[in-house]
Structure 1
Amino acid sequence: SSVGPQVGLWNKNYSGINRANVILSKIEKATTLSAAFKTRVTAETKFLRAYFYFDLVRWFGNVPLITKVLETSELYTQVQSTPAQIYAQIEKDLRDAIPGLPATISAGEKGRISQGAAKAQLGKVLLYQNDNAKMTEAATLFEDVNRVGNPYGYSLLPNYADIFNPANKFNAEAILEIPHSNNAAWSDWGYINGGEGNVGTQFVGMDSYNGDTYSSGWGFCPVTLDLVGVMKNDPRFAATIIDGAALKAAGATYNGRYQNTDYFIKKYAPLKAFRSASGVAEQNWPIDEIEIRLADTYLMQAEALLRSGGSASRAKELLDAVRARVGLASIPATLDNVYAERRLELATEGHRFFDLVRTGKAVAVLGSQGFKAGKSEYLPIPLNEIEVTKGGIKQNPGYN
């Protein structure tokens, strides 16, 4: 297809990669920049290129690997690289970036990349390749981020709900946070991926909502009844899921949209208190996206330790810490328990699909929803990319 969300994902990431390549091609030649500035910006740029490629390789699999500024003629002759080749470049960029990044970010620069974020991202990249030989290094990287007294200032927040409070940006649990503002005075509906605000917040809000606390949204991404059933008695439920039926019982109204379940995402919900008074409010939500946080890296380290034959006691300590924060009892440190905890702790934060795919559980869990092995792991590559390269770029299996 030449339309759809996969086109936006593809274009957004390759636009970022192109900008990164431009910066890297020019910064070394610059004569008016300090060595310290060059070192930090080069490291940040390599981190971002790795970040964009990690998105692409997870969503599309075989994608073009471009690490230089292309001549116009080269735009039409690109071919795909394998996921292994893409991952090798991602690892290289992150390893190059780590030494040039600061341990902490000053108050006026929040949103820039820290060394801890790069180590956590590299650990995640190693984990996602599903190669047990990479798990020991992943666990070591996570330990540097997770250990008490880590040099990056990370710690679990005592109150789970505080992590997602828009007034609590860049809190001690956030490792990689994408900042959003409500400063845009204009909008571009043709490029909603490029705005300063978080348009995703508008998507998940209740359609035509009239009531307390929340602002109206568009009613997409309703929470599945399966997740509700799993979480109903979990202490994190109230901070994770909005119970629409309870709001209606209290006098609120909204329209149920496609696949409505009367349960909605709370962590990124549109809040009246944060609705923009300027620009186009629907595209101007100042609600940040937390891509990686400490409870996530705790659970990723526990998984890496268990998969590499590392310290089972440390894995249990990490799993227990995530549960103890919300008042849950200790449980055995098994892979199944770690995966189950990831679903609960990180619900609606964008990890579940990739967790199911990388652990080989997607068919069993999503097969009844139409997931097909060998196809559904990836999105279709945008048709115009195939056409402009005259078939040099091949469509993913199952989409022809």
Structure 2
Amino acid sequence: MKLISFKQSIVALGVVLTFGSCDTDEKLEVQGDGVVLETAFYRNETEAYSGLVAAYDKVGKFAGSMETAPLLFLNSASDDFYAGGGNSGDQPGLQVASNYTVSQFNIPPAIWANYYQGVFRCNVMIQKLPEVDMDTTKKARFMAEVKTLRAYYYFDLVRMFKNVPLIVVPLSKAEVPNVMQAKPEEIYVQMEKDLNEAINDLPVTLATTESGRFSKGAAIALLGKVYLYNNKKAEAATEFAKINGTPGSTSSYGYKLMPAYADLWNHANKFNTESIFEIAYSDKSNADWGNFELGNDEGNVAAQLMGIRDYSRTSTGLAAGLPDYINGWGFITATTDLANVLKTDPRFASTIFDAKAERAAGRITYTDSYNETGYHFIKYAAVNEDIKAANPFLNFSINTYIIRLADTYLMEAEALNGSGARAQALLDAVRARVGLPSVPVSMTAIMNERRLELAGEGHRWYDLVRTGQAAAKLAFKGFTANKNEIMPIPYSEFNNTKMVQNPGY
């Protein structure tokens, strides 16, 4: 994870296999400190802190990589976006998600690998922390954070792949051949256990230097999501109510909707009152193509990929004050359907840039992306002012939300079965923030609101799948019912294990 000062003591763990096999002489490359053996590490608070940072690090892959970034992959698979890019072979992992030709042979294997490397690092910390010589209160917090992180990684794994191994201790190389998948319900039991054990040892508020770490509120929100996806609606509603408080007011955890929707997408408003869990990215790493895969990917790479290809303002566009967007690579173009449902909504201007209309008016020029619609996603759009590093393409300091308050408002309304006065108040608060009138609360109204409010933030594909709408909504992309509700496990993961492929692949 990319974390202001928290990131500075990063440990790059030498993971040999995706599952994180760890012999007793596993080497840890510690920046600035040379090489130490894993058995001799985790002796004190400094080393435990480095291990904690390493456990967080894989969270940053959400928007900090290319075709392996879940944000880009999930948006490509949804009905709201096409993969885009330069052509049908550009970032092929995104293209196969977008047109549902995804298979075990072409899904980006690092999506799976990154999550399991995160799990492995959490497992090592959970095993080692009890023996570390450090303050007991801080040790309890570290343990709570890695348990929350392990639940976070498993939550994405089980939602995306469903049938995944449950690994809660570091594996030796000799144990890897016996790896098998667990039942999804077993994964949910473990996530609920980890989160319930962790919550009480997490802080309610974070110091400025701790921004990006899990707080108590973030862990409660994650637990609420886990309960909701596990169809434990009553439990989910209880957890969400704790952090949501009175709709429209500041909750006891300090969360409150931002006054203006556009404020959410002002890059300066990091860790704002609506942010529950947020990934911080940096423009200080100076990552380049030669070192990108060596732990230097600290910037928001997705911002570059989603920029409009060869974007340039004409003199008319300059006079009109159009945004000074970077020249991007044209990925994640919005579908016409999303643009049409948003066009009369106040959130359109913060979500989609109507490049087609601006070009027709002579205010901009740009090069069409593959599957170009003229509509481009701009919540995380970079402008030239954002360019700080020598190589800007990999180093944008643009944060990304994982959970924010409007999301938990709508999830609580859903957990309340889309009925009742509180569900109505939660829905009304989200709409009132953008100046929209009340509509009768229902499950349909809630899901419609989620699409408009959260467009492009990585939730839509999951929402369609869990509500049974995916087959109908994604038919135009080639979605196959009873198959594409889950993704194929990368072929490379079947080497030397007892795992089996998901049905249909």
TM-score interval for Structure 1 and Structure 2 normalised by the shorter chain: over 0.9
Residue 324 of structure 2 is matched in structure 1 by 213
The structural deviation recorded for 1:277 is 2.6
Secondary structure class of the residue paired with 1:242: strand
Whether 1:398 aligns to 2:504 is: yes
Residue-by-residue CA offset, 1:161-215 (whole Å, 9 max, x unaligned): 1112111100000101011111112345763997211111111111122234210
Whether 1:365 aligns to 2:473 is: yes
Whether 1:139 aligns to 2:237 is: yes
What is the CA RMSD across the aligned residues, in angstroms?
A: 1.7
In 2, the alpha carbon distance for the partners of 1:335 and 1:295 equals: 16
Equivalent position amino acid for 2:478 in 1 = G
Secondary structure class of the residue paired with 1:39: helix
Residue 275 of structure 1 is matched in structure 2 by 387
The structural deviation recorded for 1:250 is 4.3
Residue 259 of structure 1 is matched in structure 2 by 371
Residue 30 of structure 1 is matched in structure 2 by 132
Residue-by-residue CA offset, 1:226-275 (whole Å, 9 max, x unaligned): 10111110010001111112332343222111111111111011221212
Q: Contact conserved, 1:47 with 1:94, CA < 8 A, in 2?
A: yes
May I ask how many residue pairs the two structures share in their alignment? 389
Residue 33 of structure 2 is matched in structure 1 by none
Q: 1:95 to 1:21 in 2, by over 3 A?
A: same
In 2, the alpha carbon distance for the partners of 1:8 and 1:79 equals: 19
Q: Contact conserved, 1:12 with 1:193, CA < 8 A, in 2?
A: no
In 2, the alpha carbon distance for the partners of 1:334 and 1:270 equals: 36
Residue 90 of structure 1 is matched in structure 2 by 191
1:71-110 alignment runs, 5 A limit: 71-110=172-211
The structural deviation recorded for 1:397 is 1.5
Identify which of 229, 252, 273 aligns with 1:128.
229
Whether 1:199 aligns to 2:297 is: no
Whether 1:330 aligns to 2:438 is: yes
Secondary structure class of the residue paired with 2:227: helix
In 1, the alpha carbon distance for the partners of 2:241 and 2:504 equals: 40
| Structure 2: segments with no counterpart, 5+ residues | 1-102, 314-322
Q: Contact conserved, 2:107 with 2:488, CA < 8 A, in 1?
A: no
In 1, the alpha carbon distance for the partners of 2:286 and 2:304 equals: 17
Whether 1:304 aligns to 2:415 is: yes
Whether 1:112 aligns to 2:213 is: yes
Equivalent position amino acid for 2:126 in 1 = L
Whether 1:165 aligns to 2:266 is: yes
Q: 1:266 to 1:282 in 2, by over 3 A?
A: same
In 1, the alpha carbon distance for the partners of 2:131 and 2:358 equals: 59
Identify which of 403, 420, 423 aligns with 1:292.
403
Residue 236 of structure 1 is matched in structure 2 by 347
Secondary structure class of the residue paired with 2:474: helix
Equivalent position amino acid for 2:159 in 1 = R
Equivalent position amino acid for 1:15 in 2 = Q
Identify which of 480, 488, 494 aligns with 1:386.
494
In 2, the alpha carbon distance for the partners of 1:281 and 1:16 equals: 27
Q: Contact conserved, 2:287 with 2:298, CA < 8 A, in 1?
A: no
Q: 1:194 to 1:89 in 2, by over 3 A?
A: farther
Aligned-residue sequence identity (percent) comes to 48
Q: Contact conserved, 2:389 with 2:395, CA < 8 A, in 1?
A: no
The structural deviation recorded for 1:151 is 2.6
The structural deviation recorded for 1:4 is 4.8
1:52-67 alignment runs, 5 A limit: 52-67=153-168
Whether 1:16 aligns to 2:109 is: no
Q: 1:250 to 1:117 in 2, by over 3 A?
A: farther
Identify which of 296, 307, 318 aligns with 2:426.
318
Equivalent position amino acid for 1:139 in 2 = A
| Structure 1: segments with no counterpart, 5+ residues | none
Residue-by-residue CA offset, 1:290-321 (whole Å, 9 max, x unaligned): 011101110000111126xxx60000001001
In 1, the alpha carbon distance for the partners of 2:252 and 2:436 equals: 28
Equivalent position amino acid for 1:50 in 2 = A
In 1, the alpha carbon distance for the partners of 2:466 and 2:111 equals: 20
In 2, the alpha carbon distance for the partners of 1:191 and 1:357 equals: 32
Residue 70 of structure 2 is matched in structure 1 by none
Equivalent position amino acid for 1:253 in 2 = T
Secondary structure class of the residue paired with 1:175: strand
Whether 1:348 aligns to 2:456 is: yes
Q: Contact conserved, 1:223 with 1:261, CA < 8 A, in 2?
A: yes
Q: Contact conserved, 1:12 with 1:194, CA < 8 A, in 2?
A: no
In 2, the alpha carbon distance for the partners of 1:203 and 1:89 equals: 35
Q: 1:357 to 1:241 in 2, by over 3 A?
A: same
Q: Contact conserved, 1:208 with 1:255, CA < 8 A, in 2?
A: yes
Secondary structure class of the residue paired with 1:247: helix
Secondary structure class of the residue paired with 1:208: coil
Equivalent position amino acid for 1:271 in 2 = V
Secondary structure class of the residue paired with 2:338: helix
1:40-51 alignment runs, 5 A limit: 40-51=141-152
Q: Contact conserved, 2:332 with 2:376, CA < 8 A, in 1?
A: yes
Q: Contact conserved, 2:309 with 2:329, CA < 8 A, in 1?
A: yes
Q: 1:193 to 1:61 in 2, by over 3 A?
A: farther
Provide TM-score, normalisation by structure 2: 0.74
Which consecutive segments of 4 or more residues in structure 1 shift more than 4 A? 1-5
Q: Contact conserved, 2:287 with 2:395, CA < 8 A, in 1?
A: no
In 2, the alpha carbon distance for the partners of 1:351 and 1:272 equals: 28
Equivalent position amino acid for 1:214 in 2 = Y
From the two aligned structures, give the one with the greater helix fraction. Answer: 1
Q: 1:192 to 1:324 in 2, by over 3 A?
A: farther
In 1, the alpha carbon distance for the partners of 2:462 and 2:341 equals: 19
Residue-by-residue CA offset, 1:21-77 (whole Å, 9 max, x unaligned): 11111110112x100111111001011111011111111110111100111111232
Q: 1:195 to 1:157 in 2, by over 3 A?
A: same
In 2, the alpha carbon distance for the partners of 1:203 and 1:5 equals: 18
